[in-house]
Structure 1
Amino acid sequence: MLLEICANSYQSAKNAQIAGAQRIELCSELSVGGITPSYGLINQVISDLDIETFVLIRPRSGNFCYSEEEFEIIKKNIEICKTIGCHGIVSGVLKPDNTIDLKRTRNLIELSKPLAFTFHRAFDIVPNPKDAIDQLIDLGVDRILTSGQHSKAIDGLETLKDLKQHAKNYITLLVGSRVSSKNAKYFKDEGFEELHASASEAMNTESSVYFGSTPQTVSSIKEIKAILKAIADEV
């Protein structure tokens, strides 16, 4: 079973590699669901580390409906990621009714080629997830990051199982949201092939003062290793 770590910084990405995770989704600002990381961060990770790196392409927090200007920013960031050697793109666009914006998402998929394309957790607010799966299969999406339309993936396990059966082997369901060493094996036992976790812990700093609503976190080597142990194949 493959483990993807949602890495919010260079240190998180480095910790994921050290701990043995197979892939990262690189982003910034996990407290708002993640946004596109800076060019400097992406370049540093690609230059220094060997771990497979997918990059979240989301220009802001909030909804997944974008203006023409925001959509141009998304496309430009995908082009930059291709240029500097990223391995995959994580993105997607919805319409105001929360159905998939097929035209714009197709545009992003085509622009991303030959990189792998993950449709992100915008999927978890679509009104009909099975229809959305069929649409994303037709578009050529490689995987869908989903919690089964719940705030925690473990609470959406029954929905995830139903969606997995519907998707068959045409698209990968990447299970994410509050995945931890305590619940990872449940997903492994149900036959899911990929897990997504931040494995976050509060970052130790010399200062207790910070801006924003939450302190900075970092992906924990110890927790990543614990997740990997929980999903390891029996010998």
Structure 2
Amino acid sequence: MIVEVCANSYEYAVNAELGGANRIELCKDLHLDGLTPDDDISVSTINKLKIPVFILIRPRGGDFVYNNEEFELMKNDIKKFKKLGCSGIVSGVLNTDNTIDIKRTKELIELSKPLEFTFHRAFDKIVNPIEGVDQLIKLGVNRILTSGQEGTAIKGLKLLKKLNKINNNRIIILPGAGMKTKFFEIFSKAGFKEIHGSFKSEIKKV
């Protein structure tokens, strides 16, 4: 099983790799559920780590509906982090009615190529997750980070399993939120190949 660790500092990312993480999602301001990381931390992390580093592209906290200025910033950030050598992009855009903004999300995906693209937990806000999976598959998204629209992934396991079943291996469902190592076996037996978490109590801090 691939373990993706959400890290909000260079030190945390290094310790996650030492602890056996397979991939890093780098961000800042976890109290806001994660924002786009600063350049200096990103450069250090990308250059130091041997495992893939995905970058979260989210300009602010709150909802996932962005004005033109915010969206331009997101696009410019993707271009910048691609040049810095990241391995993937984590982002997404919604409409005001909590449906996926197909046009803008497609723009972000196209800008991210050839890197992998993860649609982040904006997915947990959408009104029709079944339809959402199909839309994201058609857009060419590699994976969906989701808690199953619950506060934690373990609580959302029922929907997560349903999403994993209907996608028929066309996209990776990446369970995240409140993830702990003691849940690994549960998710593995349920058919998930990847999991996501910060694992704060389980990764040694510098």
**TM-score, length of structure 1 as denominator length:** 0.85
Say if 1:89 and 1:180 are closer, same or farther in 2 by CA, change over 3 A.
same
Equivalents in 2 of 1:139, 1:100: separation in Å? 11
- How many angstroms does 1:139 deviate by? 0.2
Aligned position for 1:43: 43
**Residue type matched to 2:75 in 1?**
K
Give the Å deviation of 1:51. 1.8
User: How many Å separate the matches in 2 of 1:221 and 1:197?
Assistant: 14
- Read off the aligned partner of 2:92 and give its amino acid letter: G
Residue aligning to 1:208? none
Instruction: Give the CA deviation at 1:185.
Output: 1.5
SS in 1 for 2:182: coil
| Contact 1:18-1:221 at 8 Å conserved across structures | no
Query: Helix, strand or coil for the counterpart of 2:145?
Result: strand
Asked whether the equivalents of residues 118 and 144 of structure 1 are also in contact (C-alpha less than 8 Å), the reply is yes
- 2:130 is matched with 130
| Counterpart code for 1:220 | I
Q: Find the residue that maps to 2:154 and give its secondary structure.
A: helix
Letter in 2 for 1:93: V
Q: Is the 8 A contact 1:24 1:54 kept in 2?
A: yes
Superposed CA RMSD: 1.1
Q: CA–CA distance in 2 between the matches of 1:50 and 1:185?
A: 26
Residue 72 of structure 1 deviates from its aligned partner by: 0.5
The one-letter code sitting in structure 1 at the alignment partner of 2:192 is F
Alpha-carbon deviation of 1:16?
1.1
In 2, Cα distance between equivalents of 1:161 and 1:135 = 18
State the distance in 1 between where 2:147 and 2:99 align: 17
CA contact (8 A) 1:121 1:146 kept: yes
> Percent identity at matched positions?
53
Task: Tell me how far apart the structure 1 counterparts of residues 20 and 182 of structure 2 sit (CA, whole Å).
Answer: 18
Structure 2 match to 1:139? 139
The 8 Å contact of residues 9 and 41 in structure 1, kept in 2 or not, is answered as yes
- Matched with 1:70 is 70
1:89–1:116 Cα contact (<8 Å) kept: yes
CA distance, structure 2, for counterparts of residue 20 and residue 221 of structure 1: 12
> Which of the two has higher C-alpha Rg?
1
Q: Please state how far the C-alpha of 1:182 moved relative to its aligned partner.
A: 2.2
| Corresponding residue of 1:57 | 57
